[in-house]
Amino acid sequence: MNRLLAVALIPALTLVAIASAVAFTKKDAEPRQAHSVFFTLKDNSPEARAEFVKSCQKYLTGHEGAVSVSFGTIAEDVVEPNVSVRDFDISLLVVFENKEAGQKYLVSPRHLQFVKENKEKFAKVRVFDTYLAPE
């Protein structure tokens, strides 16, 4: 009887241990970091914007620890009165696994090369970094 009880308890205890580990990992995991950048260009012609987007594609995609990368031009035909911000040309959103991945990205050679090649084109750059709430 004791052997039967032990055999029945082992799988149950294993499931409890696994569930506890998963709950602990999700609860205590570092939050993802969102890196939102809004660029106002000195030359905001369609050609200059397209060239800038190509540079984003070349240098800002494929970084280790990046969960997603999105960039594009302002949606000029979408305006919510008294709400929409209109003083930018290109937006960039990179979501990182965690803060450490975001810090590595900032000093990576490709990111630094992007800044070096494009900084003369910037009229204004605004960066908003946030920690994302768990899903």
List, in sequence order, every residue forming a beta bridge with 80; answer none if it has no partner: none
Note whether 42 and 123 are within 8 A (CB).
Answer: yes
Residue 125 CB neighbours (<10 A):
16
Rounded to a whole number of angstroms, the distance between the first and last alpha carbons of the chain is 45
Is this model's pTM higher than 0.75 or not? yes
Please tell me whether residues 74 and 46 are part of one structural domain: yes
Q: Distance between CA 34 and CA 25 in Å, rounded? A: 21
Range of the domain at 21: 1-29
Q: Are residues 40 and 16 in the same domain?
A: no
Six token digits for residue 52: 């800038």
Q: Are residues 15 and 45 in the same domain?
A: no
* pLDDT, tens digit only, all 135 positions of the chain: 555 544 444 544 444 445 544 444 455 689 999 999 999 999 999 999 999 999 999 999 999 999 999 999 999 999 898 899 999 999 999 999 999 999 999 999 999 999 999 999 999 999 999 999 998
Residues 49 and 113 in one domain: yes
* Closest-CA residue to 39 (of 85, 79, 83): 85
25 and 39 together in one domain: no
User: Based on the domain organization, do 67 and 114 belong to the same domain?
Assistant: yes
